[in-house]
Amino acid sequence: MSNKQEIFENVKTLIVDRFGVAEDSVTEEMTFEDLGADSLDIVEFVMELEDQYSIEFEDEKIEKLNNIKDAVDYIDQLKNNQ
């Protein structure tokens, strides 16, 4: 399993736990809007990801996350730069 696939599986688990959606409905193309997430939900979710991966998202980058794939790609990028 690739790094990005592992990150996606982990992010998917967090999404299911936090937003109460069915696991099989979570796709890389899913947006935070699809999840019914407001800005506070997104910030809390990002903080959870930061804690889990010991990384720090740039504020400007958070605003540019359009879908789950964007978040996975950014996590992978930050992990590779550590």
Q: Distance between CA atoms of 67 and 82, rounded to whole angstroms?
A: 24
Find the domain containing 74 and state its range: 3-80
Structural element, H or E, at residue 30: none
Residue 20, domain CATH: 1.10.1200.10
Q: Distance between CA atoms of 66 and 39, rounded to whole angstroms?
A: 13
Q: Model confidence over 9-49: pLDDT tens digits?
A: 999 999 999 999 999 999 999 999 999 999 899 999 999 99
Catalytic residue among 17, 24, 34, 38: 38
Total number of domains in the chain: 1
Q: Does residue 76 carry a catalytic annotation?
A: no
What global pTM score does this model have? 0.90
Q: Mean pLDDT over residues 65-72, rounded? A: 94
